[in-house]
Amino acid sequence: MFIGGGSEHDHLEVGNAYDWYPGAGTVVSWEPTPACAAKARKAPISPVPASSMQAGHLRGFVEFGDRGLDYSRAVMGSWDVPGRCDTRAMTFVINSHLRRHATYHSWFEYKDEKNIVRHAIQNPRDIQFAPKEYGVLTQPEWQDLVLATPDPLHWDCFRFGIVQHADRFSLYAVVDHLHCDPMLIAGLYVEIVMNYNAVVEGKAPITLPPAASYDEFCMREHQGVSALTLDSPGVRKWIDFAEANGGSLPDFPLPLGDQSIPCGGDVHVEQLLGPDQTAEFEAVCKRAGARFSGGLFACAALAQYELAGTETYYGLTPIDKRKSPADFMTVGWFTGVVPFTVPVDPNSFEETARGAQESFDANMDLAYVPYDRVLELAPWLRRTGPQFTMMSYMDAGLPPLSAVVATALDGVNATAYVDGRSPAYMYSTVFRLFDEVSIMVSYPNNPIARESVTRFTKQIKSVFDRVASGTFAEVPVHVAR
């Protein structure tokens, strides 16, 4: 499955870890030395709290485990690099990357859902990863290796490695979501791929501005969250949103099967717009007074109306909370979640898009108000259930990804995979890459969910097609019952 396609060389291959195989070749994995691992285990307690996203991730991992489910947690992918790997140079750039970013210096002691304790390595130079050769692996052996990356309750829940081929090698990374968000792509490309190329060419390592402190981000977030009360405007807006939606956060409208039965996860990819259609769609959005994001959310709302007759769409989308240039050079989980409400006009994409954009823009500040804190202050609201869903939008043509994405995907056989474990919820990501737009949906790997996801992606593609072709209002809408 591929996303993008500015040329036959410029795309991103995506899928499930069980479909991932870089090909036969000698595998080398960079892992902590025994001395490094021992120092990490003895790392002292840090006063820095887990970020809200990290705490939610750890709770999800533990809760899924208690139910006998293997929680999806790893972000993984690869690039091809020409030539034979210089393991000394690669060791240098991997350790430089790990030492540079504070998020990698921590591990968490999970006592209970309200008592998560951070431990932190005090001296980054104590972090020492070394190459370990595994030889040539079959596809099942390869999968076993990447899926053996430790879970988020262990410090070393990240691995880097290569698969050496005759004239090139595949550089791969497996990083627990605990430590990253989509900016990891830029961080790995600049700090490992570009730095490696500089070092093997005999040049000095790339001079980078200092990274921001992820610890400081966590402290700022904690201080802001601790100051929230039931009367805080952001809390009140979240309560109004959840109460209007029946007392909780949005559910996917189609059945997803019995998720108490272990079934792992899978992904489905559908192209929504080609390059010409993307230009037409964006022009329609602009004429409606909306941006591409508002148009996307309008299409999701209209698709749900056509599938289920829902006249008001309640949506959630993550946004990046980085602010400074240094933040954008920092690996970590800087995400917050924004709720938005879309009144659906089934006969007008423009009206629906304007409403979606207005709601999304008005609620941007709610990214700084975690819903878990709202639940503490408003216990009559319910936690999310098994039908919970969220949609994100990633535009690789906008900063900060735009600065590296064209180079990072140019003829390098770039890949990105989910780990095939049970997803926390049904998650849709809409990618705009080289002016093509695709949707990737992560869902429980059972036949009921697969059929529902296929129906949903076909319906939202139909809406995009009609908007881009200017025929949306001309086609009678038949609501499925």
Q: What is the pLDDT of residues 328-353, one digit of tens each?
A: 889 999 999 999 999 999 999 999 99
- The answer to whether residue 481 is domain-embedded is no
Q: CA-CA distances (angstroms) from residue 471 to 119, 465, 474? A: 57, 8, 5
| Dihedral sign from CA coordinates of 432, 175, 164, 94 | positive
Tell whether 297 and 157 lie within a shared domain. Answer: no
Please state which of the ranges 125-129, 183-187, 200-204 shows the lowest mean pLDDT.
Answer: 183-187
Rounded to the nearest integer, the mean pLDDT of the chain is 93
Considering its fold, how many domains does the chain have in total?
2
Examine the domain organization and report whether 283 and 399 are in the same domain.
yes
Same domain, 245 and 311: yes
Alpha helices in 255-316 (DSSP H): 275-287, 292-308
Length of the chain: 481
Q: Which residue has the higher pLDDT, 480 or 445?
A: 445
For residue range 368-411, list pLDDT tens digits in order: 999 999 999 999 999 999 999 999 999 877 765 666 666 666 66
Least confident interval from 275-284, 350-359, 397-406: 397-406
Domain at 168, CATH number: 3.30.559.10
Same domain, 263 and 212: no
Tally Cβ neighbours within 10 Å of residue 115: 8
Average pLDDT (353-374) is 98
369 shares its domain with 430 = yes
3-class secondary structure, 244: helix
Structural domain contains residue 224: no
pLDDT surpassing 90 at residue 63: yes
Per-residue pLDDT averaged across 56-67, rounded? 97
Shared domain check, 290 and 182: no
| 144 and 271 assigned to the same domain | no
**Are both 255 and 152 inside the same structural domain?**
no
* 57: phi then psi, degrees, rounded to nearest 5: -65, -45
Instruction: Decide if pLDDT at 9 tops 60.
Output: no
Question: Environment class of residue 361 by beta-carbon count within 10 Å: exposed (0-12), middle (13-18) or buried (19+)?
Answer: middle
Comparing CA positions, the residue from 293, 288, 290, 312 lying closest to residue 301 is 312
Q: Are residues 240 and 209 in the same domain?
A: no
User: Who has greater pLDDT, 409 or 462?
Assistant: 462
User: How would residue 175 be classed by pLDDT, with cut points 50, 70 and 90?
Assistant: very high
CA dist., res. 285 & res. 290, Å (int): 5
Structure tokens at 169: 């090698």
Same domain, 237 and 133: no
d(CA 440, CA 433): 13
Residue 358 lies in a domain: yes
Mean pLDDT of 188-194: 88
pTM assigned to the model: 0.95
Same-domain pairing of 73 and 46: yes
The more confidently predicted of residues 125 and 5 is 125
What residues make up the domain containing 45?
Answer: 2-217
